[in-house]
């Protein structure tokens, strides 16, 4: 795993002027994350409330706003992006909540270059991410973009090749219990990675774990297939826990040792 203690992690985005926004800032301070947030007071910080019974989520209530950020907020974010130092890797996680406008994404590409960028996107905003280094999607999102339902490896192969060509990017397709299919656009090679989940209690945050670990490994110099394999193991760790959880380096190494030995 990459040596990371001396790295600077910067989180950029928008929060509301509410208690939840203060909690997000406090969590970043506690974790040593450099938070560059713009506060938009009339916009609530996204809050997801889950109702769980016997380890199964039965209901989720979201309190959020998905309209585009104001021009004032956008200008503040653009100033922050211009002032950021060089980055080893940039992860753009787009949940179509209105913060990642076309102007913001274009500025990130202009500032850091698409080949240093990994995008987690939604089909409605896919056009903004053409030319990124790597794009991460799940089965539903990829099917919406390609009209291919990739339940089998053969279909997944066809899907990632088509999507990689269309988006001019490498593709990491997460396939739930079927693992991942990875397309390396540079080498034009494909790898199917089997799921590494020993137990599945809660899939909340699995996709975010994949893109975070993928970015960390790539920034540390790992090849795409190695990075995807480690990210797959990290996802296997977090889905074995209840609620939104993380995978520590110790847990991740243990999970790799247990699974790779099988």
CA–CA gap between residue 85 and residue 9 (Å, rounded): 11
Question: Do residues 256 and 233 lie in contact, with contact meaning Cβ atoms separated by under 8 Å?
Answer: yes
Instruction: Give the pairing type, strands 90-93 and 189-193.
Output: unpaired
pTM value is: 0.91
Radius of gyration, alpha carbons of the chain: 18
Known catalytic membership, residue 208: yes
Token readout for 36 is 């560059």
- Which one is catalytic: 94, 184, 202, 208? 208
Per-residue pLDDT for the chain (262 aa), expressed as one digit of tens each?
555 556 788 999 999 999 999 999 999 999 889 999 999 999 999 999 988 887 777 899 999 999 999 999 999 999 999 999 999 999 999 999 999 999 999 999 999 998 889 999 889 889 999 999 999 999 999 999 999 998 899 999 999 999 999 999 999 999 988 889 999 999 999 999 987 665 665 677 788 999 999 999 999 999 999 999 999 999 989 888 777 888 888 999 988 888 875 5
Tell me if residue 124 falls in helix, strand or coil: helix
């Amino acid at each position: 795993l990459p040596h990371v203690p001396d790295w600077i992690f910067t989180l950029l985005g928008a929060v509301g002027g509410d208690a939840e926004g203060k909690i997000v800032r406090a969590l970043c301070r506690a974790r040593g994350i450099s938070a560059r947030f713009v506060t938009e007071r009339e916009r609530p910080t996204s809050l997801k409330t889950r109702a769980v019974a016997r380890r199964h989520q039965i209901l989720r209530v979201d309190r959020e706003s998905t309209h585009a950020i104001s021009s004032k907020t956008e200008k503040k974010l653009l100033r922050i992006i211009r002032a950021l130092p060089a980055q080893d890797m940039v992860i753009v996680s787009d949940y179509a909540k209105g913060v990642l406008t076309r102007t913001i994404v274009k500025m990130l590409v202009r500032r850091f270059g698409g080949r240093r960028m990994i995008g987690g996107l939604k089909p409605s905003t896919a056009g903004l991410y053409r030319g990124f280094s790597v794009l991460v999607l799940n089965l539903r999102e990829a099917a919406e973009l390609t009209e291919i339902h990739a339940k089998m490896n053969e279909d997944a192969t066809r899907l990632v090749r088509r999507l990689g060509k269309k988006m001019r990017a490498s593709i990491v397709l997460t396939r739930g219990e079927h693992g991942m299919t990875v397309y390396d656009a540079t080498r034009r090679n494909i790898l199917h990675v089997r799921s590494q989940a020993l137990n599945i209690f809660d899939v909340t945050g699995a996709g975010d774990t994949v893109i975070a670990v993928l970015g960390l490994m790539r920034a540390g110099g790992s090849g795409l297939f190695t990075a995807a394999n480690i990210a797959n193991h990290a996802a296997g760790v977090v889905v074995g826990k209840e609620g939104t959880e993380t995978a520590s380096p110790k847990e991740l190494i243990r999970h790799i040792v247990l699974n790779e030995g099988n």
